[in-house]
Amino acid sequence: MTSTPPLYSQLYDALVDRIRSGVWKEGERLPTEQALVAEFGISRGPVRQALAQLRSEGLVFGTRGAPPRVQRAARSQSFETFISFTEWAEEIGRVPGQKVIEVTRRLADGDLARQLHVEEDSPVVAVVRLRLLDGEPVMIERGAYVPAAGRYLLAADLEVDGVYQTLRGHGIHPTRARNVIDAVAAGPLEARWLEVEVGSPLLRVCRTTFDQNGEIMDIAENKYLPNKATFAVENSVRSPTPLTRMSVDGGATTEGGGGTAIPAEWGSGS
């Protein structure tokens, strides 16, 4: 027998749908409590509970005594769009961009070889790019790719083509990823390209990606401006909800486990 969700939960779902669908635009005031009571035919108690939940999740903001305003239209993500910056940007209606800082064929040292599960001194490919939304810098992306995947990137125009779009075109498909998120300080490379001071706080996502055969295809270290993107995890008793990446001015399954990092000297020059 299926139980009926409480009134505040039903109202919350209806309000979230209006935010995510764009019926209520970013910065727009929500109706007053009295208006919501009249529209939905419920008491003030459930209305206040639903609004409190919206505030706690950052979907609305505002002071007491005034109707809250829409903070952002949070959008959940498919696995593909969390993995691919380009596909994520296009999904949220933004124009993705990238500037290639470095694409290099290197020999894997012992630590990198262990992380990629390749032989030491195997020829891996390192990619460093600046990622943009609507022409504004958002993230520095460092990746190291196993030989089977990296060889295709050496021949690609990565200022036009997405990395994973390129690899899918050659039959290499990301199917699983492990992500670890933490906060780090900007180094000289990040400061230069993200246009911040050295030591400024950044959000870092260290990711290990696996292909359709369960083999590691790359490790990546992505450093985001915290005022351009955030990450949220919603948990449910019924079923876990994947990690969601959101544009602050406008997600992908994660698993527990240790992170990885690209050596700092990769891309620390130009």
pLDDT of residue 56: 75
**7-70 adopts what CATH topology?**
Arc Repressor Mutant, subunit A (1.10.10)
Residue with tokens 């520095």: 140
CATH architecture for residues 79-247: 3-Layer(aba) Sandwich (3.40)
pLDDT of residue 167: 92
Bridge partners for 100 per DSSP: 129
Closest CA to 166 of 95, 130, 217: 217
pLDDT along the chain (270 residues), means of 10: 73 87 87 93 92 81 77 58 76 86 94 93 95 93 95 92 89 89 94 96 93 92 87 54 57 41 53
pLDDT of residue 64: 62
pLDDT of residue 105: 95
Domain ranges (residues) in the chain: 7-70, 79-247
3-state secondary structure of 10: helix
pLDDT of residue 239: 45
pLDDT of residue 65: 67
DSSP code of residue 216: E
pLDDT of residue 266: 54
What is the rounded distance in angstroms from the CA atom of residue 194 to the CA atom of residue 133? Answer: 12
Torsion, Cα of 85, 192, 183, 77 (10° steps): -10
The reported pTM is 0.64
pLDDT of residue 30: 92
pLDDT of residue 262: 63
pLDDT of residue 255: 38
The pair of structure tokens assigned to 196 is 């911040």
